[in-house]
Amino acid sequence: MLRNDLRNIAIIAHVDHGKTTLVDAMLKQSGIFRANEHVEERVMDSNALERERGITILAKNTAVMHKDTKINILDTPGHADFGGEVERVLTMVDGVLLLVDAYEGPMPQTKYVLRKALEQHLKPIVVINKIDRPDQRVEEVIDEVLDLFIELGADDDQLEFPVVLTSARNGIAKLTMEEESDNLEALFKVILENIPAPDVEVDAPLQMLVNTLDYDDYVGRIVVGRVIRGTIHNGETITLMDEEGERKAKIGRLYTYEGLKRAETQEVGAGDIVALIGLADANIGDTIADAESPEKLKGISIDEPTLSMVFSVNNSPFAGREGEYVTSRHLRDRLFKEIKTNVSMRLEETESPDAFIVSGRGELHLSVLIETMRREGYELQVGKPKVIMHHDETGTLQEPMEALTIDVPQEFMGAVMEGLGLRKAELTNMTEMAGYLRMEFVIPARGLIGFRNQFLTDTKGNGVMNHVFAGYADYKGEIPGRTRGSLVAFENGETTSYGIGNAQERGNMFIIPGEQVYEGQIIGENSRDDDMDVNPCKKKHVSNMRASGSDDTIRLIPPKTFSLEQALEHINDDELVEVTPKNIRMRKKILD
């Protein structure tokens, strides 16, 4: 049965190209809202951290109505560090909207998701937004998108993508610049005509894949996926199938997406995307199948965690106690809650009730959690990231490897190769693209620690990197290079100051000039540079220092009453980094 009343699309957009504005405008014009009702909430990026870092961490769903057709719009994550999130979103849709700013053109950061979408033979629609900009270059931007599609291996059908020109801000869409328009009708029309309606059997035995997990304090685990076959009913008994086996379970309430909300419903037919509660132990990749004649769907593999960190209660003398949540109970509850939805994250308890080992898919994965917790008011300490090692059957030490793909303009090739060489990466493939080089490496997961920031600096933000787990291999030996988070001493006339080699972005840090400990604060918007090699201070008293590689200023607040000795006493434990709601302070060994 062709479900002409339904379309499922994913939206791919670079930060600031207008995704939120466009979805808001579509909602306003979609008839779900009364004419005088405003879409107050920003739809897609509700997580403050996502907004600041400019990355979308969790995929979120919205649905708009156009006449009798519901369009489910799924957001795609901005990068691929978190275990197959992109693939999981793309398996739920039949087409993608690539949203591109009419002046900026396609940006390298969207390439990873776009490539995945093209590989899955999804139908793309190109939306050139902000055509009201006086500096718009619509024609050129369309050519740039075409070049990008060719580079990414689009098939012939995909290369004939429809183009819609929009001003999301003004709520208008049209097919040519000359056309008159005062609404988004042209966009809706192109979506309905080009994105295939799901062609499904609604009367067959139920099959649904668990694609995403969400969590709510009141209702617990929320399972999200697309009904592949059949119809799912409120309260029905189903068979839940995973790799190990199958068992009967009862569905709780069902919800579909309606505008910004989830709306409760009695049944959901094949083709639609459903959120449901009641299956407290369903996992990503499980099949929800008919009770009587269950058939399993092909599961989804989730990348292994490769990096772990100790999270512990902050018991140090530097503890700020600014936090709302400071006890081991708080920490424990929060971490257990996290792993309910963060599918490639693992949690282990330790002998101490105050410390937990958290494992994830790389530094960014873990640092997003730390930062989110910090903002929520947790005060904690985290250890140095450690890769998760194994021994093979013969007892040989093995370490996790990652397949790293890098796209950079030619001019940065040298810098990137040099950085990666030191990190024991091996080049496995290199392809020349239009103005770009794609380099593929196999690198020990250890080698990626601290690499993202170095890479952003080395390529002046023009590079794109992604990595996927590539199995275990024999340990490659020490990786030389900079010690992450070391205190670095700077001489400047009468003053010697110690800056933190690698402070976290937009956090606080310690500067220790002479005998006193200053608390510094890294300020500035949207800094992605957490590589704070602090330059020698220009003045006698430390003020107004600049962090290399970024425009961020380090502001110093009045000295605390610690002496240098006192500070060093606590610094010689090279494991700990303190994270408090207001500060991120790092205490590390002084370099000789």
Q: Does 41 bind ligand GTP (CB under 6 A)?
A: no
Q: Does 17 bind ligand GTP (CB under 6 A)?
A: yes
Q: Does 20 bind ligand GTP (CB under 6 A)?
A: yes
Going by C-beta distance under 8 Å and a sequence separation of 6 or more, which residues neighbour residue 75?
A: 10, 11, 19, 44, 56, 59, 60, 61, 62, 89
Q: Are 5 and 270 contacting, i.e. CB atoms less than 8 angstroms apart?
A: no
Shortest Å, Cβ 165 to ligand GTP: 10
CA distance 211 to 91: 8
Name the residue among 59, 63, 116 with its Cα closest to residue 87.
116
Shortest Å, Cβ 181 to ligand GTP: 13
Q: Does 330 bind ligand GTP (CB under 6 A)?
A: no
Site for ligand GTP in 144-183 (CB under 6 A): 167-169
Tokens of 198: 């799901």
Q: Are 231 and 270 contacting, i.e. CB atoms less than 8 angstroms apart?
A: yes
CA distance 59 to 342: 12
CA end-to-end distance (rounded Å), the chain? 72
Q: 583 a known binding residue?
A: no
CA distance 382 to 578: 6
Q: 8 a known binding residue?
A: no
Q: 237 a known binding residue?
A: no
Q: Does 105 bind ligand GTP (CB under 6 A)?
A: no
Stretch that binds ligand GTP, among 4-12, 64-72, 130-138, 417-425 (CB under 6 A): 130-138
Our CB check for ligand GTP shows the closer of 53 and 221 to be: 53
Q: 384 a known binding residue?
A: no
Shortest Å, Cβ 21 to ligand GTP: 3
Q: 573 a known binding residue?
A: no
Q: Does 77 bind ligand GTP (CB under 6 A)?
A: no
Q: Are 64 and 259 contacting, i.e. CB atoms less than 8 angstroms apart?
A: yes
**Residue of 7, 27, 30, 45 interacting with ligand GTP (CB under 6 A):** 45
Shortest Å, Cβ 81 to ligand GTP: 17
Q: 502 a known binding residue?
A: no
Stretch that binds ligand GTP, among 12-20, 254-262, 392-400, 542-550 (CB under 6 A): 12-20
User: Could you give phi then psi for residue 98, rounded to 5 degrees?
Assistant: -100, 115
Helix (H, G, I), strand (E, B) or coil at 580: coil
Q: Does 18 bind ligand GTP (CB under 6 A)?
A: yes
Using left for φ > 0, alpha for ψ between -120 and 50, and beta otherwise, residue 326 falls in alpha
SS3 labels along 391-420? ECCCCCEEEEEEEEEEEEEHHHHHHHHHHH
Q: Does 21 bind ligand GTP (CB under 6 A)?
A: yes
**Residue of 133, 233, 296, 346 interacting with ligand GTP (CB under 6 A):** 133
Sign of the CA dihedral 39, 43, 47, 48? negative
Q: 16 a known binding residue?
A: yes
Stretch that binds ligand GTP, among 111-119, 126-134, 154-162, 342-350 (CB under 6 A): 126-134
Stretch that binds ligand GTP, among 127-135, 354-362, 529-537, 545-553 (CB under 6 A): 127-135
**Residue of 2, 16, 176, 324 interacting with ligand GTP (CB under 6 A):** 16
Q: Residues at the annotated binding site for GTP?
A: 16-21, 129-132
Contact residues: ligand GTP, CB under 6 A: 13, 15-21, 45, 51, 54, 129-130, 132-133, 167-169
